[in-house]
Amino acid sequence: MNQPDLRVTIGGLVFKNPVLTASGTFGYGQEFAPYVNLHHLGGVVVKGISLAPRRGNPPPRLVETTGGMLNAIGLENVGLDRFIAEKMPYLREIGTRVIVNILGDSLEEYQTLAQRLSEVEGVSALEVNISCPNVKKGGVAFGTDPAMAEAVTRAVCAGSNLPVIVKLSPNVTDITLIAKAVEAGGAQAVSLINTLLGMAIDIRSRRPRLANIVGGLSGPAIKPIALRMVWQVAQAVKIPVIGIGGITTTEDALEFLLAGATAIEIGTANFINPRASQEIVEGLARYVTDNRLAGISAVIGGLVLS
Amino acid sequence: MSPFEEQSEIVRQEQLTPEIFRLTLKAPEIAGTARPGQFVMVRISSCYDPLLRRPLSIHQTIGGKQVQLLYKVVGLGTRLLASMHSGQQLNLTGPLGHGFEFAGKQAICLVGGGMGIAPLYFLAREILRQTRPPKCMVLLGARTAAELGPLPQDFLDLGVTKIHLATDDGSLGHHGFVAELLPQHLAPDLHWTACTCGPQPMMKAVVSQCRQQGWECQVSLETMMACGISACLGCAVPRADLSGPYLHVCKDGPVFKAEEVAWL
């Protein structure tokens, strides 16, 4: 029997299947090698990289909530130089696409990251985390203002010949406005959603459970919100949408594809089941075969409304 | 050594005290390579509540085929775990992290408080299995005698000859904290290595005693963690000098040299 065709195209790049791993939940790939055949995945999105290393937030950084978890890791990462020197040699050999998630404090930092990473062999695309505060503009997050989101997209696209995916924050009133802005700024795709801001309190000590007070909610609890936003954005833009948010099973992944996502990213599920991403690839293959579809692309945007 | 993901069958679930349980699982890959002080991540529910795996230190391995976990019911996850019985399956990842270093030491003192006793049993067994075992002292503490349950006897059955107990309420052994036993029982002419696991204030007191005496001290830390495999970076602990990148309990620990980490 022929292998089912799971290929999808984003920003001119062909991915062998639509299953990627979400930044910050899959380390630099190597951490999952004992559990997953990395080359079976559509791609690996690595932990967000800044120009200089970042320490991240003080602990406690993590708390479990009903059907989800809150994190305030604070973008801890090894920084660009060590990423290129220590992590890329391994990533070049994993046999799938490597997408580097980037983050910065200023337009200049984003652009420099884009320029430097464009010259690195083995990087397939950039994913831009715009949920960070713009230090030079009073700390307002790039991702919550359409004009700033567009500006950061332009800065990255000007600095790079790689396909640029912009990762959208859900902590806005109308995510389609941000999606349209980054499309206008030259993004080849959008990925959504990043985590939802949340909070948890220890009633005995009356203290917040996170040292950072607030953190990002992820996991199955956020899936309906993510799915709704993916569907809205898929209507609003012409560029491909990558769906993220609580995807834990093949059925979850199919929902996002039906809502209009061209690909999906597996996040918190990697923590619960380190083999989740590979199992979802296998599940999508079975779905295509069992339903005698020409390929997974026959599912994308297949939501029936009437 | 690379960790494994292993679907493991429960061999035995024993209730040792009203709150403390001992779970034996068939997990040959993990049991085959586990070292004292390492831990496993246990997926307790195939549903989403509780969502995350629970880190549990390895109480011992049996015949290189089975993994034994000792845990106390403290919340939803451990309550669900306690309701499981032999024949049921649990998914484990492990063995994870760095364990205790005990080879070539002159004299080792194991200091355990509450559920911190769990990994020390495995350690005591491996220490005594060496061809020329060092002098080995075991100090165990808990809030009450009932909380210690059969654990002191388990150490005696291993062949530990020097064991002293402390309870907060005085119901067994020394009336007070286990750290207070160190100066009483450890011969000052020996170069001791303390290996400790338990509540943070207890370990802090042990570290302080060791520092005064110039003894080595290894501490096993516990933090909230989502993955156990250094992907989530949730298990950060500050370094002793409070600068530089955080240490991560899952990868750099759970056992650290006491002087590596900050004791705030």
* CB–CB contacts below 8 A, A to B: 101
State the architecture of A8-56+74-195+217-298 in CATH terms: Alpha-Beta Barrel (3.20)
The answer to whether residue A157 is catalytic is no
Sequence length of chain B is 264
pLDDT score at A270: 98
Mean pLDDT over B221-238 rounds to 96
Contact B231 A64 (CB under 8 A): no
What are the tens digits of pLDDT across the range A32-52? Answer: 999 999 999 999 999 999 999
Q: What percent of chain A has pLDDT over 70?
A: 98
Contact A34 B2 (CB under 8 A): yes
CB B16 within 8 A of CB B22: yes
pLDDT score at A291: 97
- Report the C-alpha gap between A206 and A208 in whole angstroms: 7
Residue B1: pLDDT over 90: no
For A189-235, the three-class secondary structure string (H helix, E strand, C coil) is EEEECCCEEEECEECCCCEECCCCCEEEEECHHHHHHHHHHHHHHHH
Contact A63 B224 (CB under 8 A): yes
Contact A273 B235 (CB under 8 A): no
Q: Which of A24, A35, A69 sits opposite B52 (nearest CB)?
A: A69
- Report the C-alpha gap between B220 and B37 in whole angstroms: 7
Contact B234 A274 (CB under 8 A): no
pLDDT score at A6: 98
From B194's Cα to the closest Cα of chain A, the distance in A is: 26
pLDDT score at A139: 66
Spell out which residues of chain A touch residue B238, defining contact as CB-CB under 8 Å. 58-59
Residue A231: pLDDT over 60: yes
What are the tens digits of pLDDT across the range B175-205? Answer: 999 999 999 998 888 899 999 999 999 999 9
What are the tens digits of pLDDT across the range B13-70? Answer: 999 999 999 999 999 999 999 999 999 999 998 889 999 999 999 999 999 999 999 9
pLDDT score at B45: 87
pLDDT score at A131: 86
Peptide bond into A193 cis (omega under 30): yes
Spell out which residues of chain A touch residue B235, defining contact as CB-CB under 8 Å. 59, 62
Tokens for B30, please give them: 């993990």
CA A121 to chain centre: 21
- Report the C-alpha gap between B235 and B222 in whole angstroms: 9
pLDDT score at A44: 98
Mean pLDDT over A186-205 rounds to 97
Residue with tokens 């530990």: B160
pLDDT score at A132: 74
pLDDT score at A171: 94
pLDDT score at A1: 55
Beta bridge partners of A54: A77
Tokens for A243, please give them: 């769906």
Residue A133: pLDDT over 90: no
Give the count of beta carbons closer than 10 Å to the beta carbon of residue A178.
Answer: 28
- One-character DSSP codes across B225-245: -SSSSSSS---EE-BTTS-SS
Spell out which residues of chain B touch residue A275, defining contact as CB-CB under 8 Å. 5
From B8's Cα to the closest Cα of chain A, the distance in A is: 14
Mean pLDDT over B237-249 rounds to 94
Q: What percent of chain B has pLDDT over 70?
A: 99
For testing contact with chain A, the best of B6, B51, B221 (most A CBs within 10 A): B51
Spell out which residues of chain B touch residue A71, defining contact as CB-CB under 8 Å. 226, 232, 234
Pairing of the two strands A62-65 and A43-49:
unpaired
Q: Mean of the per-residue pLDDT values for chain A?
A: 96
Tokens for A261, please give them: 């996502």
Residue in A100, A132, A166, A264 annotated catalytic: A132
Mean pLDDT over B85-102 rounds to 97
Residue A289: pLDDT over 80: yes
Tokens for A63, please give them: 């708390």
Interface of A with B (CB under 8 A): 24-27, 31-32, 34-35, 53, 55-56, 58-64, 66-69, 71, 73, 76, 219-221, 248, 268, 270-275
Amino acid at B69: L
What are the tens digits of pLDDT across the range A106-125? Answer: 999 999 999 999 999 999 99
Domains of chain B: 4-96 (2.40.30.10), 107-220 (3.40.50.80)
Spell out which residues of chain B touch residue A24, defining contact as CB-CB under 8 Å. 232-233
pLDDT score at B264: 65
Chain A residue nearest residue B223, CA to CA: A60
A253 membership: H or E segment, kind and range:
helix A250-258
Mean pLDDT over A257-267 rounds to 98
Q: Which of A59, A271, A274 sits opposite B5 (nearest CB)?
A: A274
For testing contact with chain B, the best of A47, A62, A101, A210 (most B CBs within 10 A): A62
